[in-house]
Each structure stands twice: as C-alpha cells, then as structure tokens.
C-alpha cells in the first residue's frame, strides 16, 4: 500500500483512551481484538494481496453498539473499515493503514421470516449459506448464490451488490432487497426494514447502500424478498469448440429452456486445466481438451418436465453441431461435483501464488476478446509460461457469468510485480472502455480500482458520487483510500 497512498494525517491515531471507550461499549461481549496474530485475518484479504496495519477489530452485537462506535469515531476522526466475511476481491474490506476494523460477524441473528410473502429479515452478519439453509427449511431460497457462500455475509453481499451464479434467474439485489437498516457515520440509525414490495414515496434511499462498499455507513440489517425453492435441479456440463458456439448455445438455452434456466456459466479450457490441478481430479469430460465449457443449470417444480426440456434442448444443440460433448448430472452428488468445476476456479486461480483479477461487463460478442487481447499482450512481453517456472505469469484464464455479460479475466501469477502490472494496466481498462464495458461488473472498485473509476463513470457521475459521500460522511471516516 505504502507505495501507492499516504496515510491521511487528518485521521487520529488510536490511543488507550479510545480502546477504553470501545471496551465500555462492548462490555457484554468479547468483541475486541488487539492481539497481533489475531488481527492478521482482518488486515489481509482473501487473495493475500492487500494487507493493512489495523491495531483494533471491534465486533458489536447490536445496532445500538454500532451507532455508539461510529458516533465516537466521527467525533474523534477515527477511520473505520466495515468488514463482513472478508471474501471481497478488490481489497475493499481491509484497512490500508491503521483504520479500525468494524466486523459484523457477531451481529448474526435471523430476525424474522414470513412464509406467505417470502420476506426474510436478518442481521447483516448472517452468513449467506446459513440464511439459505434457514430458508430451505421453510421451502424458500436466497435469491443470490456464490462460491464464497460459506464465509460471506448477507450484509457484505448487499454492500458489494454481489451478482453471483443465479443473477440470470433472480435478478440483482437492487431488486430483491426490500429494506435495510444502516448506521450513518454520525451514529444516526436509518431504518427501512418494514418496506413493502411496492413503495413509491420519495427517493429509494436503500439503493444508495447497495454497492456502496462501506463508504457511506454500516449496514446492520437486511430485508430481502425470497423466491420459492425449486423442487427439481438439473446441471449439464458441455464442451464446445468456439466462443461463437458458446453464444449460440446461450441463445438456444434462453429460447428452449426459458423459465427453468437458472444459470448459464462459461469456462475456458485453460481455467479447467488449472482447476484439475487444484482439485487433483480428472476432468468430467473425458473425450479431450476443449477450448470452452458451459455449465447450464435448470431449476423448476417438475422434474420430468425439466428433464424432458433439457434433453430435447441438448439433443438439438448436438445435432446442430454446437456442442461437441457433454454430461447431465444423474444425482445431487453429481450436481455438486459438476458445479465444483466452476465454483473452484477462483481458488485454482491462485495455484501459482497470486492472481490479478478483472471482473468486467462487456457486450457478449466482445466478452472473450479481452482474454485473447490480454494473452497476446503477455505473450509479446515474454512473461507467460504455464509450466515454465522462470516466467512470472502462469496463465491468463477467462470464465464467468455469460448469461449476465460478465467475464472474469484472471491473470494467474507466480508473484505480484510491478512489471506484470504495467503490462496489464491501464491496457485492460482501456480495452474495456473501447468496447463500452464496465471495469467492475459485480465485485466493486475497492482499493484495486480506486484510480480507474473514470474508465466507467463520467466526470458528472463522479462529482455526484463525491457530493453524496461528502454529505453523509463529511469527515471521511468510512472506508478511506478506496474509490471515493
């Protein structure tokens, strides 16, 4: 960090008096961490790429405690980083210098569930998988699913506006979140938890917090509209020979599978080679190495109906020569195992030691062009070699949520270095801008993309963002050094 930003001296340095105050606020729980070893998890991100130097983690158990903490920090100009499950991929959830980490992990109760409307109200620190398991017992499903579900928090999901594996079916959190409870930097508690599905009375304020990445306040409660849990799931894993075929299969899937299509994910062959090494398993498609793979999930209410639709669709796609090979999961275990070839890619991407991640939106026709362009650039620089330990880059791989126009370009490396970064940036961002894409589809800007917002937002938009930030956080205590 030190090479990129300087500590802003407007922020007070923590002292014993501050810690005593927080101890008094959190007297009923063990929510204070000051031990250097224990602090490491909170200071470092999932990729082990960003590391701050916070001396203090606070774990409030109630919204009132969050309010007291923020009011004190605001008065004393102590900077704060809200943290959920710390699975974010843009360095947004970690301190840069000595900011206090405010972890939501103990604010983790389900508040209520209405089995008629499907509205779940919960604390922000509930783990996504826990919320989904609770909903499963009631015949419902959380309208978001992602590989980090076992660690990420519902509040973190809202703060990042996470997209995930089924956005194609359930839409974005901007639609399914009905209300929020959030603490503003001065300690004021904003509450719209009782909002109804339809409410056209004034600005939709909760939207400001969805995707705000901890820069406007701390989300403490979430009210979300949940769909009925599908009774029948199918997963097909297909091999295709070109990116054009990926697009044609997508058009066909939307037409023929229509209302039961719940995920359409793609992976390039290189991502599967790394995943096979990571999982230490043979690939489920044994007939050869293909340049592209597709995972299609259907979910509906009638297994026979769904099976028939999927089989007819795949039969047609094979007859037309779009699909070279494929398998359909025969039971729940195989559903899980096929999904793991997609969900394990983020972990597999770090196999060499590190990874540069670019999470981008692009017009579908241009989506894979970015991976090819990045590869060309790396090849020309002579720094890439899958099994050549002397090269700093292992491989550039592409995969993602094709159904949402969202590509994940991962440049897998043996070490983080300025040399690699210079080859990739701003090249990648310029390429995206030239295609009118977005430099962040679903992970946010965080620290990684703080200097690049201009590639996707106009000066007027950036000014409006800053105006809102300055209005609600005039002392700038919330998640500083990040994108605002």
Write out the residues near ligand 2HG by the rule CB under 6 A.
89, 147, 346, 357, 359, 400, 408, 410
Token digits of residue 117: 């409307």
State yes or no: cis peptide before 117, omega within 30 of 0: no
Q: Are 49 and 411 in contact (CB under 8 A)?
A: no
Distance of CA 346 to the CA centre of its chain: 11
> Could you say which residues in the range 95-124 bind ligand FAD, by CB under 6 A?
104, 124
Contacts of 121 (CB under 8 A, 6+ apart): 110, 111, 112, 113, 193, 221, 222, 223
Residue 195 partner contact from ligand 2HG, ligand FAD, none using kind-dependent CB cut-offs of 5 to 8 Å? none
Q: How many CA atoms lie within 13 A of 338 on its CB side?
A: 25
46 touching ligand FAD, by CB under 6 A: yes
Place of tokens 């699909």: 323
Min. distance of Cβ 29 from ligand 2HG in angstroms? 33
Min. distance of Cβ 128 from ligand FAD in angstroms? 8
Name the residue whose CB lies closest to ligand FAD. 156
Question: Nearest CA to 358 among 398, 391, 385, 328?
Answer: 398
Residue 439 partner contact from ligand 2HG, ligand FAD, none using kind-dependent CB cut-offs of 5 to 8 Å? none
480 touching ligand FAD, by CB under 6 A: no
Residue 157 partner contact from ligand FAD, ligand 2HG, none using kind-dependent CB cut-offs of 5 to 8 Å? ligand FAD
Min. distance of Cβ 396 from ligand FAD in angstroms? 19
Q: Where are the alpha helices (DSSP H) in 329-445?
A: 332-343, 345-348, 369-380, 418-424, 427-434
Residue 86 partner contact from ligand FAD, ligand 2HG, none using kind-dependent CB cut-offs of 5 to 8 Å? ligand FAD
Size of the site for ligand FAD (CB under 6 A): 37
Cβ neighbours around 301 below 10 Å, total: 12
Residue placing its CB nearer to ligand 2HG in the complex, 160 or 479: 160
Please identify which residue in 159, 257, 263, 407 interacts with ligand FAD, judged by CB under 6 A: 159
> Could you say which residues in the range 278-337 bind ligand FAD, by CB under 6 A?
none
Alpha-carbon torsion, ordered 302, 304, 307, 308, to 10 deg: -120
442 touching ligand FAD, by CB under 6 A: yes
d(CA 93, CA 91): 6
d(CA 12, CA 17): 12
Contacts of 92 (CB under 8 A, 6+ apart): 160, 213, 214, 444, 445, 446, 447, 479, 482
Please identify which residue in 147, 284, 437, 480 interacts with ligand FAD, judged by CB under 6 A: 147
Place of tokens 């991100």: 45
Residue placing its CB nearer to ligand FAD in the complex, 146 or 296: 146
Name the 3-class secondary structure at 209: helix
Residue 410 partner contact from ligand FAD, ligand 2HG, none using kind-dependent CB cut-offs of 5 to 8 Å? ligand 2HG
Listed ranges 70-78, 185-193, 247-255, 439-447: which one lies at the site for ligand FAD (CB under 6 A): 439-447
Residue placing its CB nearer to ligand 2HG in the complex, 25 or 246: 246
Residue 104 partner contact from ligand FAD, ligand 2HG, none using kind-dependent CB cut-offs of 5 to 8 Å? ligand FAD
Name the residue whose CB lies closest to ligand 2HG. 346
Site of interaction with ligand FAD (CB under 6 A): 46, 81-89, 92-93, 104, 124, 146-148, 152-153, 155-157, 159-160, 162-165, 213-214, 218-219, 346, 442-443, 446, 479
């Amino acid at each position: 960090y030190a090479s990129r930003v300087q500590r802003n001296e407007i922020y007070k340095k923590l002292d014993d008096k501050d810690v005593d105050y927080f101890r008094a606020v959190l007297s009923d729980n063990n929510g204070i961490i000051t031990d250097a070893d224990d602090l490491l998890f909170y200071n470092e991100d999932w990729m082990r790429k960003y590391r701050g130097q916070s001396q203090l983690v606070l774990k409030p158990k109630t919204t009132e405690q969050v309010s007291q903490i923020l009011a004190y920090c605001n008065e004393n100009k102590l900077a704060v980083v809200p943290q959920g499950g710390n699975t974010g991929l843009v360095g947004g959830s970690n301190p840069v210098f000595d900011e206090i980490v405010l972890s939501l992990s103990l604010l983790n109760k389900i508040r209520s569930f209405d089995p008629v409307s499907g509205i779940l109200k919960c604390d922000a620190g509930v783990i996504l998988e826990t919320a989904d398991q609770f909903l499963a017992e009631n015949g419902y499903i959380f309208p978001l699913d992602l590989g980090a579900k076992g660690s990420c928090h519902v509040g973190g999901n809202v703060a990042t506006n996470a997209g995930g594996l089924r956005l194609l079916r359930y839409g974005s959190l901007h639609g399914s979140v009905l209300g929020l409870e959030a603490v503003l930097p001065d300690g004021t508690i904003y509450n719209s938890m009782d909002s109804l599905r339809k409410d056209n009375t004034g600005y939709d304020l909760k939207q400001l917090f969805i995707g705000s990445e901890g820069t406007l306040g701390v989300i403490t409660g979430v009210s979300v509209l949940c769909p009925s849990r599908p009774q029948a799931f199918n997963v097909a894993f297909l091999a295709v020979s070109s990116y054009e075929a990926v697009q044609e299969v997508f058009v066909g899937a939307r037409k023929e599978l229509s209302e039961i299509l719940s995920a359409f994910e793609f992976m390039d062959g290189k991502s599967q080679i790394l995943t096979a090494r990571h999982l230490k398993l043979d690939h489920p498609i044994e007939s050869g190495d293909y340049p592209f793979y597709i995972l299609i999930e259907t979910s509906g209410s009638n297994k026979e109906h769904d099976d028939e639709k999927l089989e007819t669709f795949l039969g047609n796609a094979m007859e037309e020569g779009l699909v070279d090979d494929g398998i359909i999961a025969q039971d729940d275990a195989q559903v899980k195992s096929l999904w793991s070839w997609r969900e394990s890619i983020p972990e597999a991407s770090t196999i060499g030691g590190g990874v540069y991640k670019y999470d981008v939106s692009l017009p579908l026709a241009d989506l894979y062009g970015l991976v090819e362009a990045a590869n060309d650039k790396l090849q020309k620089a002579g720094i890439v070699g899958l099994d050549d330990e002397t090269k700093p880059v292992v491989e550039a791989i592409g995969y993602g949520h094709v159904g949402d126009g969202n590509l994940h370009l991962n440049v897998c490396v043996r070490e983080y270095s300025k040399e690699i970064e210079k080859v990739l940036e701003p090249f990648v961002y310029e390429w995206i801008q030239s295609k009118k894409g977005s430099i962040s589809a679903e992970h946010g800007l965080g620290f990684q993309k703080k200097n690049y917002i201009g590639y996707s937002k106009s000066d007027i938009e950036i000014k409006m963002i800053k105006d809102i930030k300055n209005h609600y956080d005039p002392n700038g205590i919330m998640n500083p050094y990040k994108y605002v």
